[in-house]
Amino acid sequence: MDPGRVLTSLFVLFAAAYVGAYVAQRFRQPTVIGEILAGALVGPHLLGWVREVESLRTFSEIGVIVLLFYVGLGTTIRDMLRVGRHSLAVAVLGVALPMAAGVGLMHSLGYPAGVAYFMGAALVATSVGITARVLLDVGQARSRAGQVILGAAVIDDILGLLVLAVVAGLATRSFSRVHIAITLAQAVAFTVFVTLIGRHVVHRFSVHIGSFRVRSPEFVVAMAVCLGLSALAASIGLAALVGAFLAGLVFSETREVEQIRTRVEPVYDLMVPLFFATMGSLVDLRVFLRPETLWLALLITLLAIATKFVGCGLAALPLGRRDALVIGVGMIPRGEVGLVIALVGLRLKVITPDLYGIVVVMCLLTTLLAPPLLWRMLTRRGRAEEAAPGRLAPFAAQDSREIASSEHEISPGDIQDDA
Amino acid sequence: MDPGRVLTSLFVLFAAAYVGAYVAQRFRQPTVIGEILAGALVGPHLLGWVREVESLRTFSEIGVIVLLFYVGLGTTIRDMLRVGRHSLAVAVLGVALPMAAGVGLMHSLGYPAGVAYFMGAALVATSVGITARVLLDVGQARSRAGQVILGAAVIDDILGLLVLAVVAGLATRSFSRVHIAITLAQAVAFTVFVTLIGRHVVHRFSVHIGSFRVRSPEFVVAMAVCLGLSALAASIGLAALVGAFLAGLVFSETREVEQIRTRVEPVYDLMVPLFFATMGSLVDLRVFLRPETLWLALLITLLAIATKFVGCGLAALPLGRRDALVIGVGMIPRGEVGLVIALVGLRLKVITPDLYGIVVVMCLLTTLLAPPLLWRMLTRRGRAEEAAPGRLAPFAAQDSREIASSEHEISPGDIQDDA
């Protein structure tokens, strides 16, 4: 590891992320898409300015943890419980439909049952990072649709874990109800314990935080809890970002939440764009050059999009058509959990490298599709709701709202109120 | 790379760093020593709670860059130039004496000339990270002695680079005046350009920063410059932290410096303790178990301490005995540059793995020795100067001063003034 090269890669990715975000803003696209595409451009597969992606991986993956922690800080447990019923329905239908359709498709194409189950399982879990980012960027992470999506993503991740336990058990013929029951119990216990009991623990503990003589004890304790719960979630097989989100929830109702948010912001500004640019730099567009895998990849991607959209949208219909649309689209992106399931299948030699590549393409396309769609729906909706005389052009209006909401968080008044 | 294990290691190191800092505070020792020892305790060589040190290395090494950037932000170019003459004298004597003594010792012990030159070169460069940290912790980074140390560390690093070019050239018999002239020209041009011209460029550019629509454009631009200059410094063979320090200097005279400092602080609180804990976790105390290398290691360490202290102290004597003592002790720690030189010698097969291990021990011991000595000198001095009726116990007084100075930076008044 050459420190000069690693630092150069880090610098190039960081600069590219913000240049990409700037260009995306100019073209009225979501900034996160600009960050991903800029990362792909400077990455090893295109320009090659960034070569040390592996050394940066840990660093950038903290980015998605910080993102979900930040989103969690802005979400209250009360709001989440209020929409809990809807989240559960969205998660269950959004898991069942893609799974069934994926298994059916692979089966009808003549693949053996093991392959069909693994590919179906890989379509199951939503990766909420990019949706959370767009919701945050348009200031709607606390909207009802946003809350339903965030809650559904947590439940969905637990269901994905169960599906993995079942299909891996079937594939290795070590299927056991006990193992699956333990997996479920661990995941549910983790979520319930953190959500319901964690805040009381934190509340109790927070009186003692002041005796800890560092610059910002609340921030240090919150970051330690965030890293600890992320590590715990990852250790029991959940996505690390679920732990980070729950850690944010726990602190969202403390008195110190605004101080913590203000201090997390610079860490966010440093790491989150870097995360998306690093993810972009991993994209190898050459997978699209081989027609035989390309067609299957596109077919599976369409299936992944349609089934998630329909499943989640239907489940969310009681909330009205608009919210159902936003929830359907917001749940489309797949990511690390799908890749992990495919990787387990690859290691068990149930699925081939080609099929693994197809899952990668599916994750990539679903991730790239959702932000522009969501962006358009949410900003049009925002315009309609907030229509007022003297408004600037649509984009400028959106933008000024963004700036206003972010400035709110660091306004001197807030800090004085806390002090 | 298992994400659960990497995150667990990250969490354990972060928590250990702050617990170590807390315990060190209780025992009235510098917090940085607590962080290093806590890291060693949980690291792979003792408790083994942290195993994935390699994956965390890039992440934690950003810590020392952030540290020096933060120190640079608090230092003005004017102050640095004012003490420039002293810094130059301290750097030159502090390089010449250890080099001469190291070569002499190895020669008298019967080692060949190549080995003697490499070992002498490995004793040359001060690693200013830990001294900067202690100066910052006691609020004396802007004192005259602090400024001389920081300036000398930059010059010292350039001299170390030249020494490396010469001894590596001699060892490979590719010694060329042209190569050495280029090395010198690059390093000096980099430093002069950044210090003298960089601030004008930044000043020019800063009017346009506002048009960049992100939460905190100043912070983003400053971090990009910091990463870019660190990468550039590392690419031309200087220590990355020299680039970070110069980047901080460049922004230290801008109008936005307080906003940037406030935003860098949380990044500092996240990464700097993690850096020192990670460094601690790399320490393998078993090197001390082999008596034959232990004696040579202790001899070389004593030589490294004595020659740096005498060389720098003598050069700083015109500043008075107190400052000369502080400067002599503050320049003792060796680090990455010494290790890099020893590594080059190892790769060229000039020095043996045993001798490399000795350089590691020397870096470790000099780094651990300086903070307690500095801490004692600076806090006693602080007490003497600030003696006032109604003061609390020495440590409490020290501590309240620390808190006051750090609170100053985030006080609502400051933010309002900036807004």
* pLDDT, tens digit, 9 for 90 and up, residues B170-213: 777 666 778 778 888 888 888 888 888 887 888 777 667 666 67
Q: Look at B11 and A227 and tell me if their CB atoms are within 8 Å.
A: yes
User: What is the rounded average pLDDT for all residues in chain A?
Assistant: 83
Q: Look at A212 and B263 and tell me if their CB atoms are within 8 Å.
A: no
Q: Which residue of B has its CA nearest to A244?
A: B7
Residue B395, pLDDT > 70, answer no
User: What is the rounded average pLDDT for all residues in chain B?
Assistant: 83
Q: Which bin fits B290, alpha (ψ -120 to 50), beta or left (φ > 0)?
A: beta
Q: Please, how many CA atoms are within 13 Å of residue A234, restricted to the half-sphere of its CB?
A: 25
Q: Look at B214 and A240 and tell me if their CB atoms are within 8 Å.
A: no
Question: Best interface-test mutation with B: which of A5, A49, A208, A227 has the largest number of B CBs within 10 A?
Answer: A227
- The reply to whether A157 touches chain B by the CB within 8 Å rule is no
Q: Please report the pLDDT score of residue B148 as a whole number.
A: 95
Q: Please report the pLDDT score of residue A288 as a whole number.
A: 67
Confidence bin at B409 (pLDDT 50/70/90):
very low
B31-75 pLDDT, tens per residue? Answer: 888 898 899 899 888 888 888 777 787 887 889 899 989 989 988
Q: Please report the pLDDT score of residue A407 as a whole number.
A: 34
Indicate the Cα dihedral angle A43, A45, A51, A55, nearest 10°: 80
Q: How far is CA A51 from CA A59, A178, B349, in A?
A: 15, 45, 29
CA B408 – CA B419 distance, rounded (Å):
16
Q: Please report the pLDDT score of residue A394 as a whole number.
A: 32
Question: Best interface-test mutation with A: which of B7, B212, B278 has the largest number of A CBs within 10 A?
Answer: B7
Residue A175, pLDDT > 70, answer no
Q: Are B139 and B251 in contact (CB under 8 A)?
A: no
Q: Average pLDDT in the A399-417 region?
A: 36
B87-142 pLDDT, tens per residue? Answer: 999 999 999 999 999 999 999 999 998 899 999 999 998 988 889 989 988 888 88
- The reply to whether B25 touches chain A by the CB within 8 Å rule is yes
Residue A101, pLDDT > 90, answer yes
Residue B384, pLDDT > 60, answer no
CA A50 – CA A39 distance, rounded (Å):
9
Which residue would you say has higher pLDDT here, B234 or A228? A228
CA A283 – CA A56 distance, rounded (Å):
15
pTM here is: 0.82
Fold that domain A3-283+290-381 belongs to in CATH? Na+/H+ antiporter like fold (1.20.1530)
Q: Which range in A73-87, A217-231, A244-258, B229-243 is most confidently predicted, on average pLDDT?
A: A217-231
Residue B380, pLDDT > 90, answer no
Closest-CA residue to B119 (of B307, B380, B391, B385):
B307
Q: Which residue of A has its CA nearest to B260?
A: A266
Q: Look at A58 and B61 and tell me if their CB atoms are within 8 Å.
A: no
Q: Which range in A160-169, A183-192, A200-209, B325-334 is most confidently predicted, on average pLDDT?
A: B325-334
Q: Please report the pLDDT score of residue B99 as a whole number.
A: 95
| Chain B residue numbers touching A415 (CB-CB < 8 A) | 410, 412, 415
Q: What is the DSSP string of A294-322?
A: HHHHHHHHHHHHHHHHHHHHHHTGGG-HH
Q: Average pLDDT in the A208-228 region?
A: 84
Q: Please report the pLDDT score of residue B205 as a whole number.
A: 75
Q: Look at A11 and B227 and tell me if their CB atoms are within 8 Å.
A: yes
Question: Best interface-test mutation with A: which of B214, B265, B411, B416 has the largest number of A CBs within 10 A?
Answer: B214
Q: Look at B58 and A62 and tell me if their CB atoms are within 8 Å.
A: no
Q: Using CB atoms, which residue from B1, B14, B403 is nearest to A227?
A: B14
A15-64 pLDDT, tens per residue? Answer: 999 999 999 888 877 888 889 889 989 988 888 888 877 778 788 788 98
Q: Using CB atoms, which residue from B228, B234, B263 is nearest to A4?
A: B234
CA B301 – CA B177 distance, rounded (Å):
32
B356-365 pLDDT, tens per residue? Answer: 888 888 988 8
Domain coordinates of chain B in residue numbers? 3-385+395-402
Phi, psi of A178 (to 5 degrees): -65, -50
Which CATH code fits B3-385+395-402? 1.20.1530.20
Give Cβ neighbours of residue A294 (< 8 Å, ≥ 6 apart): A287, A288
Specify the amino acid at residue A123. Answer: L
Q: Look at A7 and B224 and tell me if their CB atoms are within 8 Å.
A: no
Q: Are B34 and B256 in contact (CB under 8 A)?
A: no
- The reply to whether B284 touches chain A by the CB within 8 Å rule is no
Q: Please report the pLDDT score of residue A388 as a whole number.
A: 36
